[in-house]
Every structure is written in C-alpha cells, then in structure tokens.
Amino acid sequence: MSGLHASDGTHGTGDHGAGDPAVAPFAWHPRPETAADTAAVRRLHLAAFETPGEADLVDALRRDPSAWLPGLSYVADVPDGTPAAHALLTRCHVDEVPAVALAPCAVLPAYQKRGAGGAVIRALLEAAREAGERTAIVLGHPPYYPRFGFAPAASRFGILPPQPWPDEAFMALSLDGSIPPPGTVRYARAFGID
C-alpha cells in the first residue's frame, strides 16, 4: 500500500534534531504547489520516507488526470522558499461517489514536529472544502489525523477500506457537514490497491 501509512512512525533523519533553535520558530504559510515545486516536492518525499515509493507515487498521481486535482496539492516553505512540507488530495471514490484521499504527507526530517505538516493539511482540507469536495479519507497514524476532524471510517460512517486495514487507522472526514455515503473506497490506480 504505497504511500499509505498507519502506525509505524518511522522517519528519515535530518541534520537538525527536534527543538533545534535554528529551525524552531517558523510560522508556516501553506500555499498551492506550482510547476516550479515539482522537483523539490520529490526531494522532500525522498528525504521523509525510507524508500522512493512515496516520491514515485506523487509523480504517478501527477501524471494521472483522473486522480490529480489541480489546486489540491499544498506546500509550506522555509524562508529561502524551499518547500519543507507537502500534502495532497487525489480523487478516490466511495462506491461510485467521488471523494478525496489524503496521501502521502511529508515534512523534511529537519522540520518535523514543528507544525508544518499540520499547517499544510489544514490549508489543504480548507481548499478542498472551498472546491466543493464533500468527503476526505486517510489511512494514517491514529493519534495524528483526528486533530483535523478525521474519525474511524468504518465504525463511524460505514466507509470500508479496500483492504482489511485497522478501523482506527482508516479515517474519514465530512468536509461539508453532511453524513458521508457508506461504501467501499477505491483509490486512484497509482496507489496499486485493488
């Protein structure tokens, strides 16, 4: 399940540890990615994950117009303009109803746990709301995603994962306040989940 992570909590390593005063006080200003960010976004995923799987996944999603949602790929920069955090939403379906899938999310190791990931995810979900998207899903760390409003998809909404993933890790969020439709999630082909 490339790009989808439930609970391992493993990260790459960086030059700066948590609490490094050189990188601690950033205020993040998330923005939609532009064409100029593509290479930096790939480098970011290569740095954040142990394998190139997520970087390759983002590139594959970018090439698939049925998956890629222009304006729903967000970055947050360090002061020199380098993206330090990235998150994106791509088209998925709950049975036949369109929804958006949050994955992958990544922050450069040197800047993790400083709010960058949370800032891009919040901005991205707000952009999805404004774009009229109704339901977001995520397979992710159970302690992390509820802070954005996500709740266990199967037990709360009857939204089933395409594979038998743990209820607490497979989460859904209503973006418009309506009750999301029950059904089984189908991810974009690039995820390789059938």
Ligand X SMILES: CC(C)(COP(=O)(O)OP(=O)(O)OC[C@H]1O[C@@H](n2cnc3c(N)ncnc32)[C@H](O)[C@@H]1OP(=O)(O)O)[C@@H](O)C(=O)NCCC(=O)NCCS
Q: Supply the DSSP symbol for 66.
A: T
- Estimate to the nearest angstrom the gap between the alpha carbon of 175 and the chain centroid: 15
Minimum gap (Å) between residue 153 Cβ and ligand X = 16
Separation in Å, CA 133 to CA 90, 97, 128, 140: 11, 11, 5, 20
Number of residues located near ligand X, criterion CB under 6 A = 22
- Candidates 17, 71, 98, 143: give the one binding ligand X (CB under 6 A): 143
Which helix (H) or strand (E) segment holds residue 83: the answer is strand 83-94
**Within 10 Å of residue 130's Cβ, how many Cβ atoms?**
10
Query: Do 166 and 139 meet the contact criterion of CB atoms below 8 Å apart?
Result: no
User: Residue 13 or residue 178: which is nearer to ligand X going by CB?
Assistant: 13
Residue span binding ligand X (CB under 6 A) among the ranges 3-11, 129-137, 157-165, 183-191: 3-11
Minimum gap (Å) between residue 170 Cβ and ligand X = 13
- Length of the chain in terms of residues written: 194
User: Residue 60 or residue 85: which is nearer to ligand X going by CB?
Assistant: 85
Q: Supply the DSSP symbol for 179.
A: P
Query: Is 104 a binder of ligand X (CB under 6 A)?
Result: yes
Residue span binding ligand X (CB under 6 A) among the ranges 16-24, 97-105, 166-174, 182-190: 97-105
- For 43, phi then psi, to 5°, come to -60, -40
Residue span binding ligand X (CB under 6 A) among the ranges 58-66, 116-124, 157-165, 178-186: 116-124
Which residue do the tokens 């950033």 mark?
Answer: 26
User: Residue 99 or residue 106: which is nearer to ligand X going by CB?
Assistant: 106
Which amino acid would we find at residue 100? V
Query: Is 86 a binder of ligand X (CB under 6 A)?
Result: no
- Helix 38-48, helix 53-62: angle, nearest 10: 150
User: Residue 158 or residue 168: which is nearer to ligand X going by CB?
Assistant: 168
User: Residue 115 or residue 162: which is nearer to ligand X going by CB?
Assistant: 115
Query: Is 117 a binder of ligand X (CB under 6 A)?
Result: yes
Contacts of 21 (CB under 8 A, 6+ apart): none
Task: List interacting residues with ligand X (CB under 6 A).
Answer: 5, 9, 11, 48-49, 85, 103-107, 112-118, 140-141, 143-144
